[in-house]
Amino acid sequence: MGWYLLRRLGAAVIVVLIASVVVFLGVRALPGDPAVVLAGENPTPQVIASIREQYGLDKPLPVQYFDYLKHLVTGDLGQSTQDKLPVSQILANRIPVTLELAVLAMLVAIVVGVLFGTIAAARRGKFSDYTATGFGLLGLSVPHFWLGLLAILLFAVKLRWLPASGYVPFSENPAQNLERMILPAVVLGTGFAAVLMRQTRSAMLGALSADYVRTARSKGLSGPRVVGVHALRNSLTTVVTVLGLQLGGLISGAVVTEQIFVIPGFGKLTVDAVLTRNYPVIEAVVLVTVVGYIVVNLLVDVAYAALNPRIRLAGATNG
Amino acid sequence: MADVLTTPAPAAVAVAGRSDRWRRMWRRFYRKPMSLTGLILVVLFLLLALLGPALFGDPTAVHFDDVLGAPSGAHLLGTDDLGRDQLARIASGARVSLEAGVLSTALAMVVGIPIGLVAGFYRRYLDSVVMRAVDVVLSFPFLVFAVGLAAILGPSLRNVVFALGVSQIPAIVRITRGEVLSVREQDFVAGAIADGANDATILFRYVLPNAANALIVQATVAIPAAIIGEATLSFLGLGVQPPTPSWGVMLTTAQQFLSQAPWLAVWPGVMIAVTTLGFNLLGDGLRDVIDPRSAR
Amino acid sequence: MTQQRSAAGRRAGTPLLSVEDLHVSFGTEDGLVQAVKGVSLTLAPGEILALCGESGSGKSVTAMSVPRLLPPTARVSGAVRLDGRDLVQLNASELRALRGSDVSVVFQEPMTSLNPSFTVGFQITEVLHRHEKLSRRAARARAVELLELVGIPDPAGRLKEYPHQLSGGMRQRVMIAIAVACEPRILIADEPTTALDVTIQAGVLDVFRSLRDRLGTAIVLITHDLGVVADIADRVAVMYAGRIVEQAEVTELFARPLHPYTRGLLGALPSAARLDGTQRRRLREIPGMVPAPYSDPDECPFAPRCPIAADDCTASRPSLDRQGDGDGHLAACFHPGLSTVEAVDA
Ligand SMILES: Nc1ncnc2c1ncn2[C@@H]1O[C@H](COP(=O)(O)OP(=O)(O)OP(=O)(O)O)[C@@H](O)[C@H]1O
Ligand code: SF4
Ligand SMILES: [Mg+2]
């Protein structure tokens, strides 16, 4: 497995480099003076000057690129044109917020999706199957942001159970933090729960008709043990694969959800940066997304390998 | 389908068996109430998108004397903050959704099908390169891509279609390639190759017709995804720009007046959900018909 | 040798298992499928009964009715008595207590019957923990013993391996180890050697034999292979279209098949004595089709394919009756033992 990981890591580095070139060229392909473009909506002379200095815009492109890489490696991502803060500091503030949202949403999706997918498969053709399948289809069809609006309308405006929006850091007040994160996390998690439920159901149906499940029954094991241990264990690779494929969607979903619930995370940063043409931030955001995306995909692959004895053991003997 | 594929003279048999085969597929399709519901929803959506704008009046006509009006006889779905009729805007929004869904899917097909054909057919040379690239793009957050595009080119429906189309390409490539690989294995194709049929003949006579089914099913996935994508981007202000009525734009307005005029938030969302649901049901139904084994 | 074995097997007192007028049907989209239509059987302790017959004749469904390992669409009636207790009346948890301990099963597909995600050790000890109060260590030690019993070299090392690391023959032995772990009184083996090659098959049969000898396990062996039947079985029941059409001790059946269907299956056999588990001898194909399982007209179900069918054969259905001088040879035929030539003359 070590060798396999190394290969994956190599590929990841290459993709990141390619992405950095694309981002680098993307901003420079804009019409007009890149320094002015990078300075955004209110290009004061100081900002333009500092950008020229930061990017070395008078030098040839390859040199600029290597300078840019050098800055990247040292963690220098430039300065936001809006509040003049270092982009790296902004990211450090925003990313944990989005991570929390994403992790909570994933938890919701996994618990709901895997649980109901399993129940639906185990009770195929029964009322609970139709109910779960129906909700799954509905969950797939309802866009996140509308669900978010409805949730705010119901829980915050009508019932006044939860605050409509706003954010309190976990470190400041865990209870308030969770109170404000629960609605966004459920909203973001619902769509993924639906996808996961459908895939889990279909994988479990396959597993439940497998010969080894019949063997498990012939041992006198209880229904929950047959379904929850023997069949589910073999469906987990599907679950992990689906989670991996949904990551892109999760990031996109976080952007929208943060916008609706006014959560100062990475997604809101992204949209705000685009709307204010804050190019240093946009550059950084795209690059961070690529890196984050690759890292998480790598983790998914590792989990996949760890779940499948065939891959795990093949790697172990090969080095 | 299998009986057609394994017979020695597929073209002739396919023609002879076609009407019968369609009838059989149609019977299997409409026996399921879910599939039929999907078809009806999709047809209603198409009717609304094509005829609605002409029937329900001007979606941009402003009436300052009747802003944020609740649903009434004059305005069945109420009016927004500028007194514009919500029903007219829903109808025009359907048109925008249809454009986004169909154009982006068409773009993905136009680009993706040739790539998939080539990758599958000239496997030895191009396949691994193409598939690696597809893997990279496959689940990259499309929204971030669209955001980047909006940042560079400015927000517009055209850019939304472009971003959505590009994000759908990998799926199309995969499906086409998979079909090429499986059709190549079939005896009659091997026979045609042995008889010296050229690549173009094989691709267009044998491979494409067989891939068509899978691609149609994929369209029922891609179109609603694009409809949601367009609405999402427009909601964020990165897509269709006001005053053009898009369901996403309408919900942006609704969000601002959530407590004064909650009804504004209902219909655009219901339309998105119902349309998407229709396509999903239709897709599930078609999948059952085309590949009964996948029906679980 | 064959003689001795069959005598020892059958007459050992009261039956361990008795199946009485078993009916099994499945509700399907196309209608009710009658898979088993009134099967009666007995099994003595330590007896090995072979179930033969064409594909779809209801062998598996009959056998799986004992531990009721049937899909939920199955409807079962009749009685299946183990020690006088009717298993058809048991509820789900009583059945579970029975499966894997009193009645266990070895399935046909060794490649897929083990769970690919768990180690061999886990899958063996699981059944031990389910039915017996054993410590982890004791269960492990027992698992090693079991693997030794079924002839797997380096048993301790194998415990940590996954199914994909084992060959088909090894996997089938692991399946058998799981099945016999709790010393069952009845072992149902559904075509246990069909997927294996001949040399491995002989080894698997040896395992069954020693099991019977050591523990007195009674075995229901479903097979298409006459070599296997001749090698190991005490008694044979031949099934056709959901019914038993002939039943006899193994030497008797090979020497004097009475039902035209059995004769067709056996074909021109040299003699039972020359068959053993190191050769493959598949049942012969018989021309014609098995009747559709949806209807059950009152006639001999084999009549459309029977070379000696006469008018009376379609007038009513022959019952499974004792034939000859009381040696427990049963056949369901109006013209038992008649050859084709005789039938034409008559
Ligand atoms: N779950 C089921 N649903 C419907 N019909 C079934 C089901 N299981 C078995 N049958 C039918 O019952 C009949 C007997 O099946 P069974 O599996 O017992 O045959 P078999 O004698 O074991 O054949 P084989 O040698 O192929 O294993 C067949 O006609 C089969 O189609
Ligand atoms: S009863 Fe008649 S048809 Fe049936 S097997 Fe005997 S001879 Fe043949
Ligand atoms: Mg069988």
Reported confidence tier of residue B18, pLDDT bands at 50, 70, 90: low
* pLDDT for the residue B106: 94
**CA nearest neighbour of B29 among B296, B282, B293, B279:** B282
State mean pLDDT over B104-122. 88
Range of the domain at B134: 52-64+76-295
Antiparallel, parallel or unpaired: β C243-249 and C235-240: antiparallel
Reported confidence tier of residue A48, pLDDT bands at 50, 70, 90: confident
pLDDT for A178 beyond 90: no
pLDDT averaged over every residue in chain B: 77
Which is more confidently placed, A288 or A248?
Answer: A288
* pLDDT for the residue B118: 83
Per-residue tokens: C95: 């059945």
Ligand 2 atom 3: residue of nearest CA: C303
Residue whose tokens read 């459908």: A198
Strands (E) across chain C are located at 17-28, 31-43, 48-52, 74-82, 85-86, 103-106, 186-190, 218-222, 235-240, 243-249, 321-323, 329-331
**C310 Cα: distance to centroid of ligand 2 (angstroms):** 7
**Cross-strand pairs, C24:** C36, C76
- Per residue of chain C (346 residues), what is the pLDDT tens digit? 344 444 444 444 578 999 999 999 998 877 889 999 999 999 999 999 999 998 889 999 999 999 999 988 899 999 999 988 999 999 999 999 999 999 999 988 878 899 999 999 999 999 999 999 899 999 999 999 999 988 889 999 999 999 989 988 889 899 999 999 999 999 999 988 877 777 778 888 888 998 899 888 999 999 988 888 988 999 999 999 999 999 999 999 988 899 999 988 887 444 444 455 455 566 666 777 777 777 788 889 999 888 888 888 888 899 888 887 666 899 999 988 776 555 544 4
- Structural domain total, chain B: 1
* pLDDT for the residue C283: 65
pLDDT for B163 beyond 80: yes
The reply to whether B278 falls in a domain is: yes
**C59 Cα: distance to centroid of ligand 3 (angstroms):** 6
Q: Counting ligands in written order, which one lies closest to the CA of residue C61? A: 1
* pLDDT for the residue C327: 65
Which is more confidently placed, B119 or A247?
Answer: B119
DSSP result, B113-148: HHHHHHHHHTHHHHHHHHHHHHHHHHTS-HHHHHHH
- 3-class SS letters over chain A: CHHHHHHHHHHHHHHHHHHHHHHHHHHHCCCCCHHHHHHCCCCCHHHHHHHHHHHCCCCCHHHHHHHHHHHHHCCCCCECCCCCCEHHHHHHHHHHHHHHHHHHHHHHHHHHHHHHHHHHHHCCCCHHHHHHHHHHHHHHHCCHHHHHHHHHHHHHHHCCCCCCCCCCCCCCCHHHHHHHHHHHHHHHHHHHHHHHHHHHHHHHHHHHCCHHHHHHHHCCCCHHHHHHHHHHHHHHHHHHHHHHHHHHHHHHHHHHHHHHHCCCCHHHHHHHHHHCCCHHHHHHHHHHHHHHHHHHHHHHHHHHHHHCHHHHHHHHHHC
| Nearest Cβ partner for C114 among A215, A233, A310 | A215
Q: Give contacts of A311 with chain C, Cβ < 8 Å.
A: none
State mean pLDDT over B251-255. 83
**C8 Cα: distance to centroid of ligand 1 (angstroms):** 33
The rounded distance, in Å, linking the Cα atoms of C213 and C217 is 8
* pLDDT for the residue B267: 86
Per-residue tokens: C260: 């035209």
Ligand 2 in reach of C303 Cβ (< 6 A) = yes
The reply to whether B148 falls in a domain is: yes
Lowest-confidence segment of A116-130, A165-179, C70-84 by average pLDDT: A165-179
The reply to whether B120 falls in a domain is: yes
Ligand 2 in reach of C318 Cβ (< 6 A) = yes
- Nearest-Å Rg of the Cα atoms of chain A is 24
The reply to whether B24 falls in a domain is: no
Residues 219-258 of A with CB under 8 A from B: 244-249, 251-252, 255-256
Residue B242 sits in a domain of what CATH number? 1.10.3720.10
* pLDDT for the residue B8: 36
The reply to whether B83 falls in a domain is: yes
| Nearest Cβ partner for A145 among B151, B232, B280 | B232
pLDDT for B215 beyond 80: yes
Question: From edge to edge, which strands make up the β-sheet containing C85-86?
Answer: C31-43, C17-28, C74-82, C85-86
The reply to whether B69 falls in a domain is: no
The rounded distance, in Å, linking the Cα atoms of A138 and B274 is 9
**C-beta atoms of B277 and A141 within 8 A:** yes
pLDDT for B24 beyond 90: no
This model of the complex carries an ipTM of 0.83
Q: Give contacts of B144 with chain A, Cβ < 8 Å.
A: 251-252, 255, 270, 285-286, 289
The reply to whether B19 falls in a domain is: no
Residues 202-231 of A with CB under 8 A from C: 210-212, 214-223, 230
Cα-to-chain-centroid distance, residue C175: 16
Ligand 1 in reach of C51 Cβ (< 6 A) = no
The reply to whether B10 falls in a domain is: no
Residue C231 three-state SS: helix
According to CATH, the topology of domain A99-264 is: MetI-like fold (1.10.3720)
Ligand 1 atom 12: residue of nearest CA: C35
The domain segmentation of chain A, as residue ranges, is 99-264
**CA nearest neighbour of C221 among C202, C235, C200, C241:** C235
